[in-house]
A and B are shown apart, each in its own frame.
Chain A
Amino acid sequence: MEKITCNFVVNGQAEEISIPPNRTLLHMLREDLMFHGVREGCSHGECGSCNVILDGKLVNACLILAVEADGMEILTVEGMVDGDNLHPIQQAFVDESGMQCGACTTGMILSTKNLLDANPDPSREEIKDALAGNFCRCTGYAKIFESVEAAAESMKGTQS
C-alpha cells in the first residue's frame, strides 16, 4: 500500500511520518510513535481507552485514520506531564486512587481534561455524562468521580 507523508504536532513536538492510508490514528500513535499511554481496548469507539485530544477535540483514536489528522495537533496523556510534574488532573487521580488496572485511566484523564476545559465546576451528574464514553470494569467509577471533583477543586482559578 502506498504510504502518505503526514505532519502532526504530538504533545508539542513536530512529527513527519509516512503512513499507509488505512492506518488508524491509534495504531500510528502506538506502533509508529510509541505513545503507549494511548491504549487499545474495544477498537469500536465504545470504551474510550484510546482517547486523545485532536485540535482541541476529544476523539477515539481507533475511529480516525491517521491521514485524516494530517496537519493537526494531538495531545496524549504523555503530553500532560510538565517535566517531572504531573498535570493537576493526573495528580488528582493519584491522590484519590482513581484507577485500578490502569487500562482505562489514560483515556479517562483526557476525557476529564476535555470536561474541565469546558466546565471547570461540573456537578456529579455532569461528570457521569462526560465519562459515559469511558468504560471502566474495575472501580465502579466512584473513585474516578471523586478524582474528577478533586481535579476541578485543585484547578479552581487556574488554567488547565
Chain B
Amino acid sequence: MSDQPAKIGDNWPNLIGKRLPRVDAVEKVNGDAKYAGDFNLTGQLWMKILRSPYPHAKIISIDASKALEMPGVKAVVTAEDFNGWSWGWGPTTRDETPLADEKVRYFAEAVAAVAAEDEETAEEACALINVVYEELPGIFDAEEAMRDGAPQVHDYVDNNISWDFHMDYGDVEEGFAEADFVREDRFETGRTLTGFLEPPAAVAQIDSSGITIYAAKQSPYFIYRQLASCFKLPLSKVRVIQPYVGGGFGGTKNDSTAGDFCAVMLAKKTKRPVKFVYNMEEVLTTCRRRHNMIVDCKMGMKKDGSITAVQTKVIADGGAFTAIGPLTMYLTGIMTTLPYKLDHYKHDAYRVFTNHPVSAAMRGHGVTHTRFAAEIQMEKMADELGIDPVEVRMKNAIEAPHETINGITVDTCGLKEGLEIVSSSSAWKDKDQNKKDGPVVRGIGISGTSHLGGARQRGHQSCAAIVRLCEDGTVNYLTGASDAGQGSDTVLVQLVAEELGLTMEDVTIQRVDTAVTPVDNGSYGSRVTILAGQAAQKAAQEVKRQLAEAAANIWEVDAGKILFNDRTVFVDGDPDKSMSFKKLTQIACYSETGAVIMGKGFSEYGLEKMDFEKGYGNPGVNYSFTSQLSAVDVDIETGMVKVKDFLIAHDCGRPLHPVNVEAQTQGAASQGLGQALYEDFKMREGRTMNSTMVNYMMPLSTEHPDFELHDIITDDPHGPFGAKEASEGSIISTPPSIVSAIHDATGIWFTKLPVTPEKIVLALKEKKENG
C-alpha cells in the first residue's frame, strides 16, 4: 500500500511485528467475555425447534393445537408464518425457507418452533405438535442424483444440479499431447464439521423500533440483510449486536440459521424477547458442513517433471439447499492455477442437491479439495518418474511476479524459499536413515500450497472504519469486521494505535453493532487484516491529519512536518517543538475550531472487474504460500497414525502480530490434521450417525504434534505493512503432506480422506496379498 506511515526513529514500527497480548485475553480468562447465550433480556421466552424425522417427505399437515394448550407455551411458528420468503447466496438460488415449506429435504430440517416460559416446556411442546408426513424416496449419493430419473430435491433445476461452474484456459488436449506421461485419478474429500465450540445462539426482540438481536455470528452483516428482507424492514431498523463469538470457521456462522428467523418471528407473535441456544446434536446434524467432493484429476507431465496440463472435474454433495455453494464451486477451480506453473487448465464443477444437510464454506473454502487432489497426483507422477518430491515442486513452482492463465496476479511469492526451508531440515534430509523397523513405521511427507487473502465476492466488497478521538487522547475504533476468535480485533487495534503513535491500551475496539458500526462484508476468506486493516489505517490517518493541522497552527509549521510517536507529537527535525498526544487532543478539541475529531476510511481493493462465471481475475487481494513437512508414525498392525512433527514455512507477507500468525497456522494445521485422518460424517439414508462430539472424532490435545514454524517475509505491496493471508494456508497444506507421509511409511497412495486406520489396514492387506 502506498500510504504507509513515515518511518520514525529506530524503533519504528512500535507495535507492528511485536509479540503483544491479545486485546480480548483478560476477558476470556476471567469469565467476563459474554457470548450470545450469556445474554438474557427481561421477560424473555425460550425457543425450541421441532425437526424432521425424515430426510425427504411431503408435509401433509401440521397441527399445533395440543402444544398451544400446554401451560407455559406462548406461540408456535410454522412455514406459513413466513409466507414463502426464502433466502440464499445469489438471486437465482434463494431456495431455503426458515422452516420447511410443503416438504422436508433433509433429516432434522426445522419444521416448527415453539416459544415458552422455559426451555423444557418449549421442548415438551415440540413433541405435541402433530405433523403428518408422506415419505418420499430420498437421494443420498451425488453421482446418482445427477442421473435421469433420480428423486428430485428441488423442482427448479433438472438432475439435481444446484450449481455448475466451468473454466477452460489454454488447450488441455494440446497440453496432454505435449506430456510424456498422463495420469487420471479419482480423489475424495470428507464431510467435515466446522467444529466451533459455541453453538448458534441468539436472543431477539422486535417492536415498532425494529429488530434487535444478540447473535453468535462470524459475519453479522449477512443476517442483518436477511432479517431486513424476511421481516420487510429497512436496514436501518435491524440491529445485530455482536457479542464474543466462540469460533466460526465459515459456513453456519456466516449465514442465518432457522433459529434466528424463528426467534424473531416468535418475538413478533408474543411481543416478548425470545432466546435459543442450539445443542451440539443440532449443530452436528443441521449446521453447514464442508462439501464432500469427488475430484477426478488428470495431469500431464514431461519426463523432467514439468506439468503440461491439468483437468479437474468436481462432483460435490451440496445437500438440500444451495447456500454459499456457488462460491465453493468457483473456488475449487480458480485457485488450481496456483502455486504451480500451468498453461492449460480445464475445470468442470457440479454441485449436486441430495437429501443431506447443507454443505457450505469451511476454512480453506473450496481450495482444499482440488489442491489436495493435484498435490497428491503431482507427487504420485513424480514418484513414478523417479523424481524427488521437492524437485518436482521446485520445477513447477511459480515465482513472483506471476500472472496465471486465468488472470490471477501474484506480486510476492515465498514458495521456493519455503520448500528450501522444509527440504533442508534434518527431518527431510535424514528421512531414509530414520526409518524405523517394526510395527511402527516413520514417514515424512511434504506439500507446497497457496491460498488467497482479502477474499472478494460479487457485490459489496469494501470494509470501512471510523476512528473517534476522545477528548482525553484515547480512541474508539469502530469496525464492521468481527473477530470470531482468530485475533483480528488485536491486529486492527494494533494498526490504529501504530498509525496514531499510541499504545494498544489507548485504543478500544467497538464490537459490531449494526446500528453503530459501518457495514462490512464479513470475516471470511482471510480478508479482515488486509481489507478492514486498510480501512482502519486510513481512518486513523484521517484523525492524524486533523490533529497535524492543529499542531501546525500552534507551531506555525507545515502540517507535513508533524510526526506522531510514543504518545507524543513533534515537529520533524525540531525536538523542542513537542507535546503529548493528549495535550494536542485537548487543544484541538477545545481551543481550535472545536470540531469533534473523527476519521473514516475505506478499503480500496476488490473493485476491479472480474469474471465470476469464467473464473477469470483476482479472487483476492494477494496470495500466501505454505510449504509443509509432516512426520507421521504409522502402526502397520493397527493402522493408527500418529502425527509427530509439523514443520511449516508460511509466507504471509509479513506477520503483523506474530503470535496470532503462529496461532492461526497451528490451528488451521490442527483442523487439517482432523480432515486428513479422522473427520467425516457417517451418513446412513440421510441420517448423521456420528452426531455427537463423542463419536465425531476431532483431534484432542494428545493427538497434536510439536510445531516448528518459519515466517517467510515477502512484504506484499497490497497488504497493510506487507501482510497477506495467515489463517487458512496450513489447512490446505496439511492434508497432502500427511497423505504423502503415510505413503512414505507404507508405500501406498491414499486418495480418499480421511485416511482412517481401517483404510490403512485394508490397503496393507491388499498390498500384501497382491505381492
Partner of B197, one of A37, A90, A104: A104
Q: Residue B76 at the A interface, CB < 8 A?
A: no
| Bound CA span A95–B26, Å | 10
Q: Which residues of B contact A101 (CB under 8 A)?
A: 196-198, 244-248, 484-485
Q: Are A100 and B25 in contact (CB under 8 A)?
A: no
Q: Residue B595 at the A interface, CB < 8 A?
A: no
Q: Which residues of A contact B628 (CB under 8 A)?
A: none
Query: What is the 8 Å Cβ interface bit string for chain A, positions 137-150, against chain B (1 contact, 0 not)?
Result: 11111111100000
Partner of B701, one of A78, A95, A132: A132
Partner of A139, one of B21, B484, B663: B663
Q: Residue A135 at the B interface, CB < 8 A?
A: yes
Q: Which residues of B contact A51 (CB under 8 A)?
A: none
Q: Are A90 and B34 in contact (CB under 8 A)?
A: no
Interface of A is mostly: loop
Partner of A103, one of B31, B196, B249, B693: B196
| Bound CA span A46–B707, Å | 25
Q: Are B30 and A138 in contact (CB under 8 A)?
A: no
Q: Are A97 and B21 in contact (CB under 8 A)?
A: yes
Partner of B485, one of A39, A76, A100, A140: A100
Q: Which residues of A contact B198 (CB under 8 A)?
A: 39, 41, 101, 103
- Interface bin, chain A: 35 or more
Q: Residue A44 at the B interface, CB < 8 A?
A: yes
Query: What is the 8 Å Cβ interface bit string for chain A, positions 82-119, against chain B (1 contact, 0 not)?
Result: 00001000110111010111111110010000000000
Q: Are B197 and A49 in contact (CB under 8 A)?
A: yes
| Bound CA span A91–B279, Å | 31
Report B564-594 residues with CB < 8 Å from chain A CB: none
Q: Are A132 and B663 in contact (CB under 8 A)?
A: no
Q: Residue A8 at the B interface, CB < 8 A?
A: no
Q: Are B25 and A93 in contact (CB under 8 A)?
A: yes
Q: Which residues of B contact A140 (CB under 8 A)?
A: 663, 666-670, 704, 707
Partner of A44, one of B28, B38, B195, B280: B280
Q: Residue B35 at the A interface, CB < 8 A?
A: yes
| Bound CA span A53–B247, Å | 25
| Bound CA span A41–B195, Å | 11
Partner of B249, one of A36, A109, A137: A137
Q: Which of A90, A102, A139, A141: most chain B CB closer than 10 A?
A: A102
Q: Residue A77 at the B interface, CB < 8 A?
A: yes
Query: A36 — nearest CB in chain B belongs to which residue?
Result: B38
Contacts A41-B280, A138-B247 known; 4 new A-B pairs at CB < 8 A: A37-B32, A102-B33, A137-B247, A142-B707
Q: Which residues of A contact B27 (CB under 8 A)?
A: 102
Q: Which of B666, B700, B706: most chain A CB closer than 10 A?
A: B700
Q: Residue A129 at the B interface, CB < 8 A?
A: yes
Q: A35-B31, A41-B198 are in contact. Are A102 and B244 (CB under 8 A)?
A: yes
Q: Which 6 A-B pairs have the closest CB atoms?
A: A37-B31, A101-B485, A103-B246, A140-B666, A140-B670, A102-B28
Chain B positions near chain A (C-beta within 8 angstroms)? 21-22, 24-35, 37-38, 195-199, 244-249, 277, 279-280, 484-487, 659-660, 662-663, 666-671, 692-694, 698, 700-702, 704, 706-707
Q: Which residues of A contact B694 (CB under 8 A)?
A: 42, 44, 46
A-B contact pairs, 14 of them (CB 8 A): A41-B199, A91-B29, A97-B22, A100-B485, A100-B486, A101-B245, A106-B29, A134-B701, A135-B693, A136-B197, A136-B701, A142-B666, A144-B701, A145-B701
Whole-angstrom distance from the CB of A82 to the nearest CB of chain B? 11
Whole-angstrom distance from the CB of A10 to the nearest CB of chain B? 12
Q: Residue A3 at the B interface, CB < 8 A?
A: no
Query: B483 — nearest CB in chain A belongs to which residue?
Result: A101
Partner of B659, one of A97, A106, A127, A141: A97
Q: Residue A160 at the B interface, CB < 8 A?
A: no
Q: Are B663 and A90 in contact (CB under 8 A)?
A: no
Query: B670 — nearest CB in chain A belongs to which residue?
Result: A140
| Bound CA span A36–B28, Å | 11
| Bound CA span A42–B113, Å | 22
Q: Are B704 and A141 in contact (CB under 8 A)?
A: yes
Q: Are A86 and B704 in contact (CB under 8 A)?
A: no
Q: A37-B31, A41-B198 are in contact. Are A103 and B247 (CB under 8 A)?
A: yes
| Bound CA span A139–B669, Å | 9
Q: A40-B277, A41-B198 are in contact. Are A90 and B30 (CB under 8 A)?
A: yes
Chain A positions near chain B (C-beta within 8 angstroms)? 35-44, 46-47, 49, 76-78, 80-81, 86, 90-91, 93-95, 97, 99-106, 109, 127-129, 131-132, 134-145
| Bound CA span A94–B637, Å | 43
Q: Which residues of B contact A76 (CB under 8 A)?
A: 31
Q: A97-B660, A137-B249, A137-B671 are in contact. Are A43 and B29 (CB under 8 A)?
A: no
Q: Which residues of B contact A81 (CB under 8 A)?
A: 30
A-B residue pair count with CB separations less than 8 angstroms: 167
Q: Are A86 and B26 in contact (CB under 8 A)?
A: yes
Q: Are B22 and A103 in contact (CB under 8 A)?
A: no
Q: A44-B693, A137-B671 are in contact. Are A94 and B31 (CB under 8 A)?
A: no
| Bound CA span A121–B409, Å | 51
Q: A36-B34, A138-B667 are in contact. Are A77 and B29 (CB under 8 A)?
A: yes
| Bound CA span A43–B435, Å | 43
Q: Which residues of B contact A42 (CB under 8 A)?
A: 280, 692-694
Q: Which residues of A contact B197 (CB under 8 A)?
A: 39, 41, 47, 49, 101, 103-104, 135-137
| Bound CA span A53–B397, Å | 53
Q: Which residues of A contact B196 (CB under 8 A)?
A: 101, 103, 137
Whole-angstrom distance from the CB of A30 to the nearest CB of chain B? 8
Q: Are B195 and A46 in contact (CB under 8 A)?
A: no
Q: Are B704 and A128 in contact (CB under 8 A)?
A: yes
Q: Which of A47, A94, A97: most chain B CB closer than 10 A?
A: A97
Q: Are B25 and A99 in contact (CB under 8 A)?
A: yes
| Bound CA span A140–B32, Å | 24
Q: Which residues of B contact A141 (CB under 8 A)?
A: 666, 670, 701, 704
Q: Which residues of A contact B24 (CB under 8 A)?
A: 102
Query: B709 — nearest CB in chain A belongs to which residue?
Result: A142
Q: A41-B198, A139-B663, A142-B707 are in contact. Are A99 and B22 (CB under 8 A)?
A: yes
Q: Are A139 and B667 in contact (CB under 8 A)?
A: yes
Q: Which residues of B contact A47 (CB under 8 A)?
A: 197, 693
Q: A140-B666, A140-B669 are in contact. Are A128 and B26 (CB under 8 A)?
A: no
Q: Which residues of B contact A91 (CB under 8 A)?
A: 29
| Bound CA span A78–B31, Å | 6
| Bound CA span A99–B28, Å | 8
Q: Which residues of B contact A109 (CB under 8 A)?
A: 29
Query: B33 — nearest CB in chain A belongs to which residue?
Result: A102
Query: A45 — nearest CB in chain B belongs to which residue?
Result: B694
| Bound CA span A142–B29, Å | 17
Query: B486 — nearest CB in chain A belongs to which residue?
Result: A100
| Bound CA span A91–B663, Å | 18
| Bound CA span A46–B279, Å | 14
Query: A93 — nearest CB in chain B belongs to which residue?
Result: B29
| Bound CA span A43–B659, Å | 31
Q: Are A139 and B246 in contact (CB under 8 A)?
A: no
| Bound CA span A132–B701, Å | 5
Query: A41 — nearest CB in chain B belongs to which residue?
Result: B197
Q: Are B21 and A94 in contact (CB under 8 A)?
A: yes
Query: A129 — nearest CB in chain B belongs to which residue?
Result: B702
Q: A86-B29, A90-B30, A128-B704 are in contact. Are A139 and B666 (CB under 8 A)?
A: yes
Q: Are A102 and B485 in contact (CB under 8 A)?
A: yes
Q: Which residues of A contact B25 (CB under 8 A)?
A: 93-94, 97, 99
Q: Which residues of A contact B484 (CB under 8 A)?
A: 101
| Bound CA span A141–B703, Å | 10
Q: A49-B197, A128-B704, A143-B663 are in contact. Are A86 and B485 (CB under 8 A)?
A: no
Whole-angstrom distance from the CB of B203 to the nearest CB of chain A? 13
Partner of A43, one of B38, B245, B280: B280
| Bound CA span A109–B693, Å | 21
| Bound CA span A153–B27, Å | 23
